[in-house]
Structures are given as structure tokens and as C-alpha cells.
Amino acid sequence: MLSILIPVYNFNVVHLVGEIRQQALNTGIPYEIIVVDDGSDIQWKEQTRVIREWNDIRYEELPVNIGRSKIRNKMAGMAAYPWLIFLDCDSQIIQGDYISAYLRHCTGQGVVCGGRTYRNVKPENPDQYLRWKYGRKREQKPASVRNIKPWNSFMTNNFLIAARVFQQVKFDESIERYGHEDTFFGIELKRKKIPVLHIDNPLLHTGLESNAVFIAKTMDGMENLNLLMQQKKEYRDELVSTVKLLGHFALLEKTGILKCYAFLFTGFKKMLMSNIMSQNPCLLFFDLYKLGYFVEKNY
């Protein structure tokens, strides 16, 4: 009945798989757990290989990283059951009825998103404050808030979908770099009028990146947005209405002050980055930096 799909990249998933396995066993339903390593470094593969000994786990290693979109499409194609749960590898189960909560929704033809949460206390490593603060303020939202704009709130980290619905949409494999494959997937769901329901069934995000890594990944996301705007012009209006940064860029463009913003960004770039990398990062400054980066790419 249920295929549980966990793509892995440079993370130890043994505990996560063990918890998922126990919950699935407790439900008494037919299930499978598929774990595919997407070209991780060897030390991570060696840690994960212990799960090959578990008879209800399908484990595969890819020789090279194929990216977030391709790996999810590949895993959906491997699945044997009509319902799919996708989990990010850097997650922790925090609810004893995580699987059961999703099973209650295996009736319709839509998508069900469980959400994401973060620890209440700051991480011990100050170099992770930006990622933690961003997650707490921007990603950790109750279902009641996410359901206001359900397609816009879609995230890949934790969702249930019917296999035949997934085949109608799939992830866009032209999005090869990190970021916004979930944005585009949400837009495609909306275009096809596939309903998205958000519930309070969150996973704890444990894979907090350092400031430098998170900023680099975010800039990769900006590059993806830039490519999407250039290569998929028929989606421009939907992208602008979905991604706040693009809405702000469109406003600067409309009012004719892109040049002014680019000039100001050149002068304040170092100051913004200094704050973003500090132990008390301001998310407004992070937003201004992202917008400035995007303006530089398009001015």
C-alpha cells in the first residue's frame, strides 16, 4: 500500500530509517522503504550500508550525484505501491503516529504535506544560526497558515502523494542545481488543479548547514530562479506571484529603480554580508542581499 522514499546525500540515515521502519511495521500495512544514495562521499555510504541487512529495505547507491529532481523521479519509478511518502534524509521523526497520520489521507487524489519544524533552542554552533533562524521564521509554519496558499507552501521534505498523481507532474529534471524544484512542482500541481492539503505532521530538520554553505546554496537557488525566468517564460507570472523575491524584483523593474537598487547594493553588500554571517543575523538583510544578487544578474 505504501512506498516510503528517502533520497540520501552525505547524511547518516540509519536512525531515521529504523524509526520509519518500526512505525510502518506497527501499522500492519503492506509497505516498502526505498533508500537511494545520490553519490555521497564514501564515508557516508559506509555508515548507511548497515541497512542493507534489513530485509524490508531496498537500498541502492548511485555512482554520481544526479540531483534533487532526478533522484525523486527515479525513486517514484522504483516504487511498487500506489501511495508514496517522500522524506528528506536530514530529518528526524518527532511524532509516534507519523505514518498513521498520513495513512488517514490515503483516500483522495491530491498531495498532503506534513511540514517542517526546528528545535526551540539555538544550535550549539553559532555558525549555524542563520540556517536555524531562517528555518524557524520562514519554514516552520502550522498547517492553518500553509493552507492559506497551499500550492505556494509546497515543500519536498515531507509529503504524501498518490503514485498516479506523481506520474502526471514529476519533478522538472531541467532544474539541475539546488533550489526551487519544489516551487516549480507546486506551480505544476496548481496548473493541473491537483489539490494540496497541509497537515500538522512535521519532521524536525536536523541537517543545519553552516552560514557559508547555506548562503552558497541560497545563491544557487537564485541562479535557478534566473534560469527558470529565462527558459520558462510561460511560467513568469506564476513564478512572480509565488516567489516573493521575484515579486520585489518585478516591482523594482516596473518602477524603473533597478539601477538605483544595484548602485545601493554595491555600496552596502559587504555590510549586509557581515551581518548575515554574524551570530545575530537579520533576515531582512538576508532578503536584501538575495534581491541585490538577483538584480546584479538581471540588470
Q: What is the pLDDT of residues 98-146, one digit of tens each?
A: 999 999 999 877 899 999 999 999 999 999 999 999 999 999 999 999 9
Which residue, 176, 208, 240, sits at the end of a domain?
208
Query: Do 99 and 233 share a domain, yes or no?
Result: no
Query: Do 249 and 198 share a domain, yes or no?
Result: no
Which residue, 208, 234, 263, sits at the end of a domain?
208
Residue 51 belongs to a domain with what CATH number? 3.90.550.10
Query: pTM for the whole thing?
Result: 0.93
User: By mean pLDDT, which of 141-155, 223-237, 274-288 is the weakest?
Assistant: 223-237
Mean pLDDT of 39-52: 95
Residue 177 above 80 pLDDT? no
Percent of the chain with pLDDT over 70: 99
Average pLDDT, the chain: 94
Query: Do 98 and 229 share a domain, yes or no?
Result: no
Query: Do 191 and 85 share a domain, yes or no?
Result: yes
pLDDT at 215: 95
Which residue, 173, 208, 243, sits at the end of a domain?
208
pLDDT at 7: 97
Residue 283 above 90 pLDDT? yes
Total domains in the chain come to 2
Question: Which is higher by pLDDT, 101 or 235?
Answer: 101
Query: Do 182 and 229 share a domain, yes or no?
Result: no
Q: If phi over 0 gives left and psi between -120 and 50 gives alpha, with beta otherwise, what is residue 139?
A: alpha
Q: What is the pLDDT of residues 157-174, one digit of tens each?
A: 999 999 999 999 999 888
Query: Do 281 and 145 share a domain, yes or no?
Result: no
Domain that holds residue 78: 2-208
Query: Do 143 and 217 share a domain, yes or no?
Result: no
pLDDT at 231: 83
pLDDT at 299: 75
pLDDT at 110: 87
Query: Do 22 and 165 share a domain, yes or no?
Result: yes
Query: Do 46 and 194 share a domain, yes or no?
Result: yes
- Of 156, 2, 163, 25, the closest CA to residue 90 belongs to 156
Query: Do 177 and 250 share a domain, yes or no?
Result: no
User: Residue holding cell 507532474?
Assistant: 169
Query: Do 159 and 40 share a domain, yes or no?
Result: yes
Query: Do 183 and 228 share a domain, yes or no?
Result: no
Measure CA 290 to chain center.
Answer: 18
